[in-house]
A and B are shown apart, each in its own frame.
Chain A
Amino acid sequence: MSNDLFVWLEQFQGQVLPSSWEALGAARILADAMGGSVVACLFGQGVEGLAQEAIQHGADRVFLADDGTLADFRVEPYAALLAQLSHQHDPAVLLMAATNRGRELAPAVAVDLETGAIADVTALEVQDGVVVATRPIYAGKLLSRCRIPERRPQIITTRPRAFPRPEPDAGRSGEVVAVEPVLAEDEILNKVTGFTTAEGEVNLTDASIIVSGGRGVGGPEGFQVIRELAEVLGGAVGASRAAVDAGWIPYAHQVGQTGKTVSPDLYIACGISGAIQHQAGMRTSKVIVAINKDPDAPIFKLAHYGIVGDLFQVVPALTKAFKERLG
Chain B
Amino acid sequence: MHIVVCTKQTPDSAATMSVDADGNVSWGDAPLVMNPWDEYAVEEALLLREKFGGKVTVIAMGPEEAREALKHAVAMGADEAIRLWDEGFEGSDSLATSYVLARAIEKLGDVDLVLTGRSTIDSQTGQVGPALARRLGWSPLTYVSKVVEIDPQGKRITVERLLEQGRQIVSAPLPAVVGTVKDINEPRYPSFIGIRKAAKKTYPVWTAEELGVEPGKVGRAGSAVEWPEIFAPPPREGECEIITADTVEEAAAILADKLLAEKVI
Contact = CB atoms under 8 A, between A and B. Distances in A.
Given A140-B233, A259-B182, A325 B260 contact: yes
Nearest to A251: B183
B17 A142 contact: yes
B238 to A, nearest CB: 7
Interface stretch (B66-74, B80-88, B170-178, B196-204): B170-178
A10 to B, nearest CB: 10
Contacts of B259: 266, 287, 289, 305
Question: Chain A interface mostly helix, strand, loop or mixed?
Answer: mixed
A128 to B, nearest CB: 13
A304 B238 contact: yes
A133 B38 CA distance: 27
Which among B126, B164, B167 has the greatest number of chain A C-beta atoms within 10 A? B164
A312 to B, nearest CB: 10
Contacts of A190: 139-141, 170-172
A27 interface: no
Contacts of A117: 94-95, 125, 127, 131, 224-225
Contacts of B128: 107
B173 A189 contact: yes
Contact of A12 (B16, B165, B173): B165
Contact of B130 (A17, A107, A252): A107
Interface stretch (B1-9, B56-64, B247-255): B247-255
B124 interface: yes
A35 interface: no
Nearest to B217: A114
Given A117-B225, A144-B230, A287-B259, A206 B164 contact: yes
A101 interface: yes
B259 to A, nearest CB: 7
A148 B225 CA distance: 5
Contacts of A198: 166-167
Contacts of B127: 103, 106-107, 110, 117, 119
A191 B236 contact: no
Interface string A255-284: 001110000011000000000110000010
Interface in A147-167: 147-151
Nearest to B228: A145
A286 B263 CA distance: 11
A307 B143 contact: no
A107 B94 contact: yes
Given A144-B227, A314-B252, A139 B164 contact: no
A320 B249 contact: yes
B228 A252 contact: no
Contacts of B181: 251
B195 interface: no
Contacts of A120: 124-126
A318 B256 contact: yes
Interface residues of B, number: 84
A88 interface: no
A318 B248 CA distance: 9
A193 B131 contact: no
Interface in A2-39: 12-13, 17
Contacts of A252: 162, 183
B214 interface: no
Contacts of A233: 265
A231 interface: no
Contacts of A317: 248-249, 251-253
B59 to A, nearest CB: 18
A223 B166 CA distance: 21
A13 B163 CA distance: 13
Interface in B25-67: 25, 36-37
A100 B170 contact: no
Contacts of B21: none
Contacts of B25: 138, 142
Given A72-B168, A325-B256, A314 B248 contact: yes
A104 B251 contact: no
Given A320-B249, A322-B256, A110 B240 contact: no
B258 A305 contact: yes
A193 B158 contact: yes
Contact of B240 (A105, A138, A305): A305
Given A138-B121, A302-B240, A306-B241, 12 more contacts: A72-B168, A75-B140, A75-B142, A108-B131, A111-B98, A115-B95, A119-B125, A138-B124, A192-B170, A300-B242, A317-B248, A320-B249
12 contacts: A75-B130, A104-B142, A120-B124, A141-B17, A142-B231, A145-B230, A145-B231, A147-B226, A192-B169, A252-B162, A305-B255, A306-B243
Interface of B: 11, 13-17, 19, 25, 36-37, 93-95, 98, 121-128, 130-131, 133-135, 138-143, 145, 158, 161-173, 179, 181-183, 223-233, 236, 238, 240-244, 248-249, 251-253, 255-260, 262, 264-265
Nearest 6 interchain pairs by C-beta: A116-B224, A317-B252, A197-B166, A107-B127, A194-B169, A321-B256
